[in-house]
Structure 1
Amino acid sequence: MFDTVRKTRIIIIDDHPLVSAGLESLLAREEDFEVIGTFASGLAGLAFLAQNQADIVILDISLPDVNGVDLCLKIKSLLPQCDVLALSNHTERMLMMQMLQNGASGYLLKNAPIDEIINGIKDCLKGEMAFSKEVKAIMLKPSVNELGTRPKITKREKQILKLIEEGKTTVAMADLLFVSPLTIETHRRNLMQKFGVKNALELIKISREQLLL
């Protein structure tokens, strides 16, 4: 009777079918890898992980139902030994750092060569951090507005962020939310203080970078 080597169990969480299918096909060529699930939503992937053991989760950041940065933390809380490898189009250094702070074992860009993706997975299995070449270059250049962690904002503040993005005036926001203009201005001021910005344009820019909008 021959001993069989257990394959590395991988799941893919990405809402782009072409990306998931292409990646699954790519990994199928590696005899030591086994894709045990692909999911278009973060919550579906998390539910699967609650019932099944995986060695590596290849995770997109922009998902339809949950922020990939937050999902990474949930996965690591559920399965501490499982490596989370970000595979994304986002090139903001701040997001990369937040993924690492939440337990990710690496960050690859979707435009990375095939061998970088395969080698990234193998690096994770060896206990090493995995970065594509472009990510390494970005990591060496902190952005001016980089924050160590994302500010915690309330549900109401997130509503106001969205309305600011839509170009609504203070009075219009007050009418929509059934509060006084003074209350809106207080929330607006608190948001600017939390993000360390001076105007609405900077506030919207950094909120988008942090996937809060």
Structure 2
Amino acid sequence: MSPHSRPIVIAIVEDHPIVIEGLRKILSRDLPVQEIVEHHTGAGFLRYLASNKQTLDVVLLDITLPDANGVELCAEIKRLSPGTVVLGFSNHSDRSLVLQLLSQGASGYLLKNATAAEIIQCITEALQGQISFSDQIKQIIAKPSANQLKPIPPLTKREKQVLRMIADEKTSTEISEELMVSPFTIETHRRNLMQKFGAKNVVGLIKIATELRLL
């Protein structure tokens, strides 16, 4: 069914009123909008989604809300309403962040400097089942990062386990207890992982591993 063949319900989850006002004008003018729902926090929107019985077609999701991680929020939205199209809407153009959001079920990603035509095109394409990006994000996605051009370092089975647990924010003590080895052994694995990936700290380690699709 074409997205223009019936009125659609769109949610804007964004904490800046002026951004919402601009989006409302664009969406109301250029799409067959039945209703535009507005929420300023992730928690408030999830409560709405859990109790709302009407079909929600599209969510424009700011991924840097004051109370929620956008990637985790996207996953929860798709869990509560699998048929709803989620489009990331942000000032952040980090390639790994875009890929993380897509991995949680998002149908696309727009930068807040996108034109009105780009916004409408992305929504239309997403409603047709496509993955859609604003023009600047298309360029970022098409160009691999320096990390992605690196060869994937060989990891032992235990190093893969430790890497996943580090990504889950577990401490060396917690990891050692779960794997029933000494904390010293886990610290050795941490150092080896940093060296293999060429990372300076844990944040860098997780970023590189994510870009290499190891997490």
The verdict on a shared fold, with TM-score over 0.5 as the criterion, is yes
Mark the CA change 1:133 to 1:206 in structure 2 (over 3 Å): closer, same or farther.
farther
Asked if the contact 1:55/1:82 (under 8 Å) is kept, the reply is yes
The letter for the 1-side match of 2:12 is I
User: Secondary structure at 2:75's aligned position in 1?
Assistant: helix
Q: Which residue of 2 aligns with 1:66?
A: 68
> Contact between 2:197 and 2:205, CA under 8 Å: does it hold in 1?
no
Please tell me whether the aligned partners of residues 41 and 65 of structure 2 are also in contact (alpha carbons under 8 angstroms). yes
- The 1:190–1:55 alpha-carbon spacing in structure 2 relative to 1, beyond 3 Å, is same
Q: Which runs of 5+ in 1 are unaligned?
A: 158-181
Shift of 1:82: 0.6
Q: What corresponds to 2:77 in structure 1?
A: 75
Identity score, percent: 38
Q: Deviations over 1:116-169 (max 9, x none)?
A: 0011111111112211111111111122235xxx95534555xxxxxxxxxxxx
Give the Cα separation in 2 of the matches to 1:191 and 1:88: 34
Distance 1:37 1:47 in 2: 13
Partner of 1:85: 87
The aligned residue for residue 99 of structure 1 is: 101
Q: Contact between 2:199 and 2:205, CA under 8 Å: does it hold in 1? A: no
Residue of structure 2 in register with 1:15 after alignment? 15
Query: Match for 1:77: what amino acid?
Result: R
Paired with 1:54 and 1:95, the residues of 2 have a C-alpha distance of 25
Q: Distance in 2 between matches of 1:54 and 1:184?
A: 51
Q: Distance in 2 between matches of 1:91 and 1:111?
A: 11
Structure 1 CA distance for aligned equivalents of residues 99 and 35 of structure 2? 27
- Taking the TM superposition and a 5 Å limit, the aligned residue runs for 1:137-156 are 137-145=139-147, 151=164, 153-155=167-169
Cα distance in 1 between the residues matched to 2:185 and 2:115:
48
The Cα shift of 1:30 comes to 3.0
Aligned length in residues = 180
Q: C-alpha distance in 2, partners of 1:72/1:145?
A: 25
Structure 2's unaligned 5+ residue stretches are 149-162, 172-181, 211-215
TM-score normalised over the length of structure 1: 0.71
Rounded to whole Å, the distance in 2 between the matches of 1:69 and 1:54 is 19
Post-superposition offset of 1:18: 1.5
RMSD between superposed Cα atoms in Å: 3.3
Cα shift readout 1:26-84 (whole Å, capped 9, x = no counterpart) = 21213502343111111111111112231101111111111111111111111111100
Do the aligned residues in 2 keep the contact of 1:192 with 1:199 (CA within 8 Å)? no
1:27, 1:34 within 8 Å by CA — same for their partners in 2?
no
Match of 1:39 in 2: 39
What are the equivalent positions in structure 2 for 1:124-163 lying under 5 Å apart? 124-145=126-147, 151=164, 153-155=167-169, 157=171
TM-score (normalised: structure 2)? 0.70
Residue type at the aligned position of 2:17: P
